[in-house]
Amino acid sequence: AQSVTQLDSQVPVFEEAPVELRCNYSSSVSVYLFWYVQYPNQGLQLLLKYLSGSTLVKGINGFEAEFNKSQTSFHLRKPSVHISDTAEYFCAVSDGRSGYSTLTFGKGTMLLVSP
């Protein structure tokens, strides 16, 4: 069975500061990893994904994440945040063994950007 742990439920940060949202996973097989963002009263939108290849993955809105197999982590980073980045962020994992692409989600991290 897979699981995802997002270590921080809430991360407050000032505008233009760097931010890192942490995600650790557990799985007995190779995994595919995702970060989604949810703005208030909206559905989830894909930020970025790791399927294979380079462990540094770049996504939309200036976000990037690094896959670290030895530490089973997939932390999300942005060098300078904006007020508009205030949202909830979800890390998710799929083992890809079936064609169903079921995802296991973490409990989410609320990023609060203040002026």
Partner 1 sequence: DVKVTQSSRYLVKRTGEKVFLECVQDMDHENMFWYRQDPGLGLRLIYFSYDVKMKEKGDIPEGYSVSREKKERFSLILESASTNQTSMYLCASSSTGIGSYEQYFGPGTRLTVT
**Tokens found for residue 103:** 């995802």
Residues in CB range of 57: below 8 A, 6 or more apart:
48, 49, 50, 64, 65, 66, 67
Helix (H, G, I), strand (E, B) or coil at 76: strand
Q: Does 29 bind partner 1 (CB under 8 A)?
A: no
Name which of 43 and 115 has its Cβ closer to partner 1: 43
- Shortest distance, CB of residue 98 to partner 1, whole angstroms? 8
Q: Is residue 45 close enough to count as binding partner 1 by CB under 8 A?
A: yes
User: Which residues of the shown chain bind partner 1 in the complex (CB under 8 A)?
Assistant: 9, 32, 34, 36, 41-46, 49, 51, 90, 94, 96, 99-103, 105-108
